[in-house]
Amino acid sequence: MRANRQVVLVARPRGLPRPEDFRLTQAPMPHPAEGEVLMRHDWLGLAPAARLRMDEAGSYSAPMALGDVVYGQAIGTVLQSRHPGFAPGDMAMAMRGGWQCFSALPGGDLNKIDPKLAPPPAWLGPLGTSGLAAYIGLLAHGRPRAGETVAVSAAAGAVGSVVGQIARILGCRVVGIAGGEDKCRAAVDEFGFDACVDHRDPALAQALARACPDGIDVAFENAGGPSRDAVWPLMARGGRIVVCGLIAEYNAPETAGPGWYRLLTQRLTIRGYITSDHLDLRPDFERDMARWWSEGRIRMREDVSHGLATAPAAFIGMLQGRNRGKVLVSLAPDHAQAA
Ligand SMILES: NC(=O)c1ccc[n+]([C@@H]2O[C@H](COP(=O)([O-])OP(=O)(O)OC[C@H]3O[C@@H](n4cnc5c(N)ncnc54)[C@H](OP(=O)(O)O)[C@@H]3O)[C@@H](O)[C@H]2O)c1
């Protein structure tokens, strides 16, 4: 009787996973229950998100338990089907196939693929979840327009390369950020990016600025770390930052400072504005605030310092958070002195 070789998680990585965190093991061949499909895995698709599932806290998805087969996608051939949608010989993609040679999964968890349209690996890449992530992130959240500049980190990777190519199709200028000369060359020569800069270059900020002379309209963040920091000062007015992934933080979610991890997991939106953009709302504001104030529903706390000479210290104190309320400087002492 054949066995099912599996890779299971035996220890939760601290920082970067170590080989000892995994164990190769054997389990009995799975048997499909009613409604399930037995599939031979032909390809596994490894995704950075698996790292997040290795932490006890999990992330936007449930954590793996110790002893679990490592989470991952698989493409394979149906050996036996107890589901009406599949027949032996079909090829399918299983989101939760796992790092193992065989799986028995509900047919509803599988997507049939057409190997005549594209070879199986492509269904784990541009035609699979990498492509879907790229497409959704770019179109729904980046909303690029022809002529705009789109910057993409991990540009030569599974998601990043698709983002760049779609953006090119839409008529954007596309600038990649990738690790090393080879990847940068691939982004330009293979994926058609207009330019690509190396995030290992100590002069990354300057290189990216040269590659994006009109600023960045859409930043598609896959990595975090140096690329995130380099993109930030170049964002153009009305720009959109799409946080697809923060792989640089996956091994260190406890990174000092707020990080962007929560932005990702909680699907937060950051939106800039300047009051003068919305002076059309001024009449509404004046009406509502006058009423709330007169009804005693609005309070104010004042942090008053006295005399013009105190202004610098008050200002500096405010920048250090020492103020308790609205910082005000009374000029009464100055006026009294002058009188
Ligand atoms: N939001 C979603 O639904 C969703 C779906 C799929 C993927 N993702 C995210 O998309 C990102 C890319 O995933 P992918 O599958 O396409 O992987 P990938 O880009 O094919 O491979 C990962 C790449 O990330 C970069 N990288 C690795 N460690 C890094 C570090 N410490 N600092 C900076 N960069 C690092 C490397 O590229 P360089 O050498 O070029 O830096 C590496 O090749 C990941 O963050 C992933 O979690 C999100």
Burial category of 134 from C-beta neighbours within 10 Å (exposed 0-12, middle 13-18, buried 19 and up): buried
Distance CA 28, CA 100 (A): 12
Ligand 1 center from residue 247 Cα (angstroms): 5
**Res. 262: pLDDT tops 90:** no
Determine the average pLDDT of the residues in 12-24. 93
CATH architecture assignment, domain 129-275: 3-Layer(aba) Sandwich (3.40)
The CATH code of domain 3-119 reads 3.90.180.10
- Percent of the chain residues topping a pLDDT of 70: 97
Interhelix angle 158-169/181-189, rounded to 10 degrees, is 30
In the chain, domain spans: 3-119, 129-275, 280-338
> Does 129-275 match 3-119 at the fold level?
no
Ligand 1-lining residues (CB < 6 angstroms): 47-49, 130, 133, 154, 156-160, 178-179, 183, 199, 222-223, 225, 244-248
* Per-residue pLDDT tens over the stretch 74-109: 999 999 999 999 999 999 999 999 999 999 999 999
Look at 54-58, 188-192, 256-260, 329-333 and tell me which has the smallest mean pLDDT.
256-260
Ligand 1 center from residue 299 Cα (angstroms): 48
Ligand 1 center from residue 223 Cα (angstroms): 6
* Per-residue pLDDT tens over the stretch 155-210: 999 999 999 999 999 999 999 999 999 999 999 999 999 999 999 999 999 999 99
Test site for ligand 1: of 53, 124, 132, 159, most ligand atoms within 8 A of the Cβ: 159
Residue whose C-alpha is closest to residue 197's, from 147, 144, 153: 153
Determine the average pLDDT of the residues in 24-40. 97
Test site for ligand 1: of 184, 222, 243, most ligand atoms within 8 A of the Cβ: 222
Residues 231 and 248 sit within 8 Å (Cβ to Cβ): no
- C-alpha distances (whole Å) from 14 to each of 19, 52, 62 are 12, 11, 18
